[in-house]
Structure 1
């Protein structure tokens, strides 16, 4: 039978995951809008489906960003400063904005001195991943170590945390080894990274590099294994010595609505 005789064949695949009430509400809004008087009912219905799909995607993205727990939830690759000395380029950052993280489990190491903008950059990359509907978990290393300690007395909760860290599309660990961790936390970190290796990527943001990490971890054998899993299959961004924290503060103070 000619599919042209059944216009609904064109929208059924898109509509399968939508609630009928959402489409119906939007369709009614479009019908009541006089600017749409020249459109056919089918055109209005297809527009309602598209709008409902976009609203559904927008809601999912907002939820992904909330669940990731970014400390800078407004961070954006579009707002990055590419001045000389920062160590990043617009071309490279746009690639990360559109990156298919699930398809490419290559880790990313962001190395930056204090105030160099590593946290903002890590958040901007993570939020871009949410915008392309990846699941993301952001955590600082000290917070992660604390959560591992707290849940260790509850075997189920502890395993749930390890599973979450192992299976999220993009795991971001900020302030990596800025403070030391105990051997139990190092063992848990090894387990997570071993589970993610060649499967899902991890972003590490740190003031130091792999050579320091080996020395900072409590067990040399575990340290070698952890660092190898992070560094051997990775890309690296080395931010320059521009104090991005001070620049952002200066820009904020220059805003006409700023007050102290």
Structure 2
């Protein structure tokens, strides 16, 4: 049964709503149906995104004094304006400072605004590309999906070296997305250090330019958030 049907039955059986007019009851039931449809759509988008933590949300972020996390900036990013403008986002910080959770929370916010999103650790994406048969339909469909999603999140970006052929494919993905989709990367290293994990200087420069030229940066500081959560939850 639909949310509309459940609500109509609830209103009919609950004396608390006896004073409501017929129009009020129908309007309320329609609102419940619309909310249920939006929730189903959001859940479908979250499932398709491959995020390992679909429950991550901006409402649960910890704005500790030494984290350099600004509520106004997060609120603006959660609105999706950066996605509409095909802007990139780079989240930097040391290990366990909360980069991945912030990226997942922004993905959740994007799905709640009905943007399409995909989440990959860069190593996992590299492994998946390595096993997909070149020129196979499966590989082409996979790449098309990466090219066309509204937000592509690459977690742990260039933490470890990647093969040159994967670096070339990564450049092709970023080039296809340039000006048409937003890419969010998290990294322990500043962009100038990404060169160290790429063997080809030309490809390294091109990847850097594709991401950084239209990117907003968030530098996360503060405590180890895994330890903080264990101590305060």
TM class, shorter-length: over 0.9
Residue of structure 2 in register with 1:229 after alignment: 210
Report 1 or 2 for greater relative contact order, CA contacts < 8 Å, sequence distance ≥ 6: 2
Instruction: Please provide the CA RMSD for this pair.
Output: 1.8
Query: Does the 8 Å CA contact 1:174/1:204 hold for their aligned counterparts?
Result: yes
Query: Does the 8 Å CA contact 2:82/2:88 hold for their aligned counterparts?
Result: no
Larger Rg: 1
Distance 1:115 1:21, change over 3 A: closer
Residue of structure 2 in register with 1:96 after alignment: 77
State the SS of the aligned residue for 2:221.
coil
Residue of structure 2 in register with 1:187 after alignment: 168
Range with greater deviation from structure 2 (170-179 or 99-108): 99-108
Structure 2, gaps ≥5 residues long: none
1:141 to 107, 122, 133: 122
| 1:65 to 2:77 alignment | no
The number of equivalent residue pairs is 233
Residue of structure 1 in register with 2:138 after alignment: 157
Shift of 1:105: 0.8
State the SS of the aligned residue for 1:240.
coil
Q: When the two structures are superposed, what TM-score results if normalisation uses the length of structure 2?
A: 0.92
State the SS of the aligned residue for 2:184.
strand
- The separation in 1 between residues aligned to 2:216 and 2:111, in whole angstroms, is 20
Q: When the two structures are superposed, what TM-score results if normalisation uses the length of structure 1?
A: 0.83
- The separation in 2 between residues aligned to 1:105 and 1:25, in whole angstroms, is 40
- The separation in 2 between residues aligned to 1:30 and 1:166, in whole angstroms, is 47
Query: Does the 8 Å CA contact 1:119/1:174 hold for their aligned counterparts?
Result: yes
2:88 to 70, 87, 107: 107
Shift of 1:21: 5.4
State the SS of the aligned residue for 1:116.
coil
State the SS of the aligned residue for 2:10.
helix
Query: Does the 8 Å CA contact 1:82/1:89 hold for their aligned counterparts?
Result: yes
